[in-house]
Amino acid sequence: MDHLGTLLPDRVCVVTGGGGGIGAATSRLFAQHGAHVVIADIDAERARQTAQEISAAGGSAMAVVADVRDDEQVGVLAAAVLERHGRVDVLVNNVGHWVRHPGSFVSTDPQSWDELYRVNLHHVFLVTRAFLPAMIDRRSGAIVNVSSVEGLRGYPEDPVYAAFKAAVIHFTRSLAVQVGRDGVRVNAIGPDVTESLQVPYSRWLSTEEQAKWPRWVPLGRMGVPEDQARVILFLASDLSAFVTGHTIATDGGTGAAGGWFRTSRRADRDWTNRPFEA
C-alpha cells in the first residue's frame, strides 16, 4: 500500500475504458486504495479480466459492458451502479482514441469528424450527465477527464482530434465553475508519450529510436499507464480537495520542452515529435 495510506476508502469509483491501458491501471490503483471500482468497457473480456485481477488481489470491482458513446447504454450503466451502490463518488472519463492518422485536414470528411467527436468528447457529456445528479444530490464528488497534451498545444497531425481534446479541457474548466458550490470537483489530465492500447510505443519505435528517450522526453523515459493513474488518484482523492477546473499535463515534460516539428526523415509523415536528427 502507498505510504500515504488508503486514499479512497469505501469510495464508489466509475472508470470508463477501465479494462485496459490507463483505465486498467487506474482501476487497479483505486482498488488498492480502498475503492469499490466499476469498470465500464466495451470489451467484455478485458473488463472481466481486470475485475477478476482486482478481486483476486483482495479488492472490490464490478465489470459492466457498455459502449459509452451510446446514451441508452450509459443510462443502463448508471442505473446498475446506483442500484448496487446507491451513490457514485468518483467518475473517470477515460475513454478516447485518435482512431487513425487522417493525413491533411482537407482529406477528412464529416463522418470521420463525427467518429472522433463521439469517442473523444460526446461520451464525456453523456457519462457526466448520467452520474452528476447523484453527486449533486449528495453534495460530494470528483470527476476526472482524460484529455491529451494535444489539447494543450498545436497538433498538426490531426487538428480535429486536437479540437475535441481541447474541448474536454474547456468543458472541465467550465463545469468545475458551475458545480463547485454543489460539492463536486472537476479536473483533467493531459497525457503524452505514454504506452497505451492506442499508442503502443514499445512496438512502434525501433531499437534506435527507443535509445533516444532521454533526448526526447525531459524525464528521460516513456510514460507507463501507472504514471497517469497516480495523477488521476490524486485528483480523485481528498489530497486535491482544493483543486478544481484544472488540467495537469502528465507528459514527462514534453509540453514544456517543445512540440511538433517538420521532418524529412519519415516517409509516411510530414511531422514528428520524435528525436530524429535534422
Residues classed as catalytic: 161
Closest C-alpha to 8, from 140, 130, 123, 126: 140
What is the residue whose three cell numbers read 493525413? 103
Strands laid side by side in the 184-189 sheet: 60-65, 36-41, 12-16, 90-93, 141-146, 184-189, 247-248
State the Cα–Cα distance between residues 128 and 178, nearest whole angstrom.
Answer: 13
Residue 50, amino acid: T
Q: How far is CA 19 from CA 31, 63, 83, 197, 264, in A?
A: 13, 8, 21, 10, 38
C-alpha cell of residue 227: 504514471
Alpha helices in the chain (DSSP H): 21-32, 44-56, 71-85, 110-117, 123-138, 159-179, 201-204, 207-210, 213-216, 225-236, 254-257
C-alpha cell of residue 195: 504506452
Residue 161, amino acid: Y
> Which residues is 46 bridged to in the sheet?
none
